[in-house]
């Protein structure tokens, strides 16, 4: 008798919706993959008025695997080189202070400009960004209306460089896309979120994102030239855990 054993692996993949208590990635889809091994045993041949071929088989289940799909979030903290300048009646540049100034103060006759750098190590050139949120923690309490700012990115052309003087920072160019914010009130040590998706996507989509910029990106906050006369201050890198953060989500 000839012994024949056939083994067939059958791989199946299907969408799986988990119960609420087992949700992953905020309820996004999951893939459930299982492998079935079907083994056919030795046939037996019985001769009578007709020939019958009998096959016996066993079904074995391999260890299933579970992979999840959905968005991925990355949180980056600002680098040591964040800085701010003040221009107007008197000018100044500071890269070591614990605060970053934004907005204007007509009473004191000056306007602020803040430069907040990040290294986006996980974001490749041309990546699709689904959300980008700048998080700043207030360094004072001020509930008065009157602040009007633009929050975008440093869109300067050329290789990545850190501004180390008033003139260098003053010459930095705001991205085409930016988020206007007015009447920004603040309470000491409260963290505030600002949508910067359009500006971040503009920079990541540039052809020089990796070649010239090396995946470095700087948020640039400038005065909106609206005549509003209040300024605000937020904690800088030098304030430790209260330093600026940038949270980016990809599909």
Supply the pLDDT for residue 207.
Answer: 92
Q: With 50 as the cut, is the pLDDT of residue 34 above it?
A: no
Q: Return the closest-CA partner of residue 104 out of 129, 116, 87.
A: 87
Tell me the pLDDT band of 185, cut-offs 50, 70 and 90: confident
Q: What percent of the chain has pLDDT over 70?
A: 69
Give just the sign of the alpha carbon dihedral 106, 108, 109, 110: negative
Domains, in order of start, for the chain: 6-70 (no CATH), 73-250 (2.60.120)
Pick the more confident residue, 128 or 183: 128
- The residue with tokens 């940038």 is 246
Tell me the pLDDT band of 129, cut-offs 50, 70 and 90: very high
- The residue with tokens 């605000």 is 232
Average pLDDT over residues 38-55: 48
Average pLDDT over residues 61-76: 74
48: CB partners within 8 A, 6+ apart? none
Tell me the pLDDT band of 192, cut-offs 50, 70 and 90: very high
Supply the pLDDT for residue 63.
Answer: 66
Tell me the pLDDT band of 110, cut-offs 50, 70 and 90: confident
Supply the pLDDT for residue 182.
Answer: 79
Pick the more confident residue, 13 or 210: 210
- The residue with tokens 């991205």 is 175
Q: With 90 as the cut, is the pLDDT of residue 113 above it?
A: yes
Question: For every residue of 18-79, which 3-state class applies, written as one string?
Answer: CCHHHCCHHHCCEEEEEEEEEEECCCEEEECCCEEEECCEEEEECCCEEEECCCEEEEEECC
Rg value, the chain, Cα: 30
Q: With 90 as the cut, is the pLDDT of residue 107 above it?
A: no
133: CB partners within 8 A, 6+ apart? 193, 194, 195, 196, 246, 247, 248
Supply the pLDDT for residue 242.
Answer: 96
Q: With 70 as the cut, is the pLDDT of residue 52 above it?
A: no
């Amino acid at each position: 008798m000839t012994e024949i054993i056939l083994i067939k692996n059958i791989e199946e993949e299907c969408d799986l919706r988990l119960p609420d208590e087992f949700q992953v990635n905020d309820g996004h889809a999951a893939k459930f993959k299982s492998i079935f091994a079907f083994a056919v045993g030795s046939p037996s041949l019985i001769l009578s008025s007709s020939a019958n071929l009998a096959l016996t088989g066993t079904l074995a289940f391999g260890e299933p695997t579970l992979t999840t799909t959905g968005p991925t979030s990355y949180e980056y903290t600002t680098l040591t080189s964040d800085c701010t300048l003040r221009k107007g009646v008197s000018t100044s540049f500071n890269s070591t202070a614990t605060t970053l100034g934004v907005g204007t103060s007509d009473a004191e006759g000056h306007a602020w400009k803040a430069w907040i750098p990040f290294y986006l190590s996980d974001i490749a050139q041309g990546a699709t960004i689904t959300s980008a949120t700048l998080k700043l923690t207030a360094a004072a309490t001020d509930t008065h209306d009157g602040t009007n700012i633009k929050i975008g990115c440093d869109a300067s052309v050329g290789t990545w460089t850190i501004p180390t003087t008033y003139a260098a920072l003053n010459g930095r160019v705001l991205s085409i896309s930016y988020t206007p914010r007015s009447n920004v009130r603040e309470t000491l040590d409260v963290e505030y979120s600002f949508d910067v998706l359009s500006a971040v996507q503009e920079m990541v989509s540039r052809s020089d994102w990796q070649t010239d910029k090396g995946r470095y990106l700087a948020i640039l906050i400038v005065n909106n030239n609206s005549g509003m006369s209040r300024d605000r201050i937020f904690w800088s890198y030098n304030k430790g855990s209260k330093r600026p953060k940038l949270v980016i989500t990809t599909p």
